[in-house]
């Protein structure tokens, strides 16, 4: 999530979020493979408790670029924009990471959009790290050489510190106070740098969890009233079947939020979750009925 928030503005993230919830055909374009795969894979935790029901391809090879013509919902990451992508634009949601730009046909606004932006803005600001140090050394641009250098310094510090004390204890080297002090200072510096990195990573992980928790609470709120818009039929064999009254459920939202909800309730993601929730309601009712029957039998 930290990588996603540094690469995209909150507005772009929520546009991507909207397209995913409505099961659109989504193409993420970014030449950096690390950033590209991070953005595509971040969608999985972002939409919980819902689950993506169609194809998800973090990196689509150039040889398979024609796959974006498929008439099914998908999320695909590509490194370079195809020359004929404008011809396919009518059915695609395109996220250009380098330009921080989302292009798509009109997407309905998320319900309670302003409240969601208000809750996410301070967390997004922490994750995007809008300061001079972060802009100079962004996390998602860390390359293998930087990682190897960091590991080298850590290993050098620990090896020098440990080996010198080993030789001093074995009386191979004289306990030179100045030499030992230099090694101690260097080792303390390495440990301090490592601790700073660890603290930074912990803060980023905490903020990422907060970001995802806000999204999950938001999505849970969209389906929190399902129970009150269902009817239950009892079959001849006493099986209970619950059905969601979609029109009633949609009408429970303010009029400005209904364009999104009308499309959302028709998605496969929503159907899978609502069916599982309705089944849980049926089980609760059946268990409650059985418990009441047991109590009556005990009373008798």
**Beta bridge partners of residue 243, listed in sequence order:** 231
Band of pLDDT at residue 85, cut at 50, 70 and 90: low
- Please state, in angstroms and rounded to a whole number, the distance separating the CA atoms of residues 280 and 229: 15
CATH assignment, 1-163+171-222? 3.40.50.11500
- The ranges assigned to domains in the chain are 1-163+171-222, 226-285
pLDDT of residue 68: 80
Helix axes 10-21, 33-46, angle to 10 degrees: 60
Please write the tens of the pLDDT for every residue from 163-194: 444 444 444 444 555 555 555 565 566 555 66
pLDDT in tens, 94-139: 999 999 989 888 889 999 999 999 999 999 988 887 443 444 444 4
Q: Residue 260: name the closest of 39, 20, 64 by CA.
A: 20
Encode pLDDT of 244-278 as tens digits. 888 989 999 999 999 999 999 999 999 999 888 88
Q: Residue 80 CA to chain centroid, in angstroms?
A: 23
């Amino acid at each position: 999530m930290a990588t996603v928030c540094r690469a995209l503005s909150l507005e772009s993230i929520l546009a991507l979020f909207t397209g995913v919830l409505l099961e659109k055909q989504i193409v993420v374009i970014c030449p950096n493979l690390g950033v590209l795969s991070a953005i595509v894979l971040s969608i999985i935790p972002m939409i919980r408790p819902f689950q993506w029901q169609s194809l998800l391809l973090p990196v689509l090879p150039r040889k398979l670029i024609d796959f974006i013509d498929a008439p099914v919902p998908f999320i695909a990451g590509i490194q370079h924009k195809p020359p004929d992508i404008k011809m396919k634009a009518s059915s695609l949601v395109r996220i250009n990471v380098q330009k921080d730009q989302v292009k798509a046909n009109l997407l309905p606004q998320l319900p309670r959009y302003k409240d969601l932006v208000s809750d996410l803005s301070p967390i997004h600001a922490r994750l995007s790290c809008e300061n001079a140090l972060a802009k100079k050394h962004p996390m998602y641009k860390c390359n293998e050489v930087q990682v190897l250098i960091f590991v080298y310094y850590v290993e050098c510090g620990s090896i020098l510190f440990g080996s010198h004390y080993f030789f001093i204890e074995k009386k191979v080297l004289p306990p030179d106070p100045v030499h030992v002090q230099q090694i101690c200072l260097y080792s303390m510096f390495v440990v301090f740098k490592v601790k700073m990195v660890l603290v930074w990573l912990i803060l980023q992980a905490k903020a990422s969890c907060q970001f995802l928790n806000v999204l999950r609470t938001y999505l849970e709120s969209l389906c929190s009233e399902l129970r009150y818009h269902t009817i239950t039929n009892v079959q001849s064999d006493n099986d209970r079947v619950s059905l969601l009254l979609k029109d009633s459920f949609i009408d429970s939202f303010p009029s400005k939020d209904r364009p999104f909800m009308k499309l959302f309730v028709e998605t496969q993601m929503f159907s899978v979750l609502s069916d599982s929730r309705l089944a849980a309601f049926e089980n609760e009712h059946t268990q409650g009925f059985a418990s009441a029957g047991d109590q009556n039998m005990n009373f008798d």
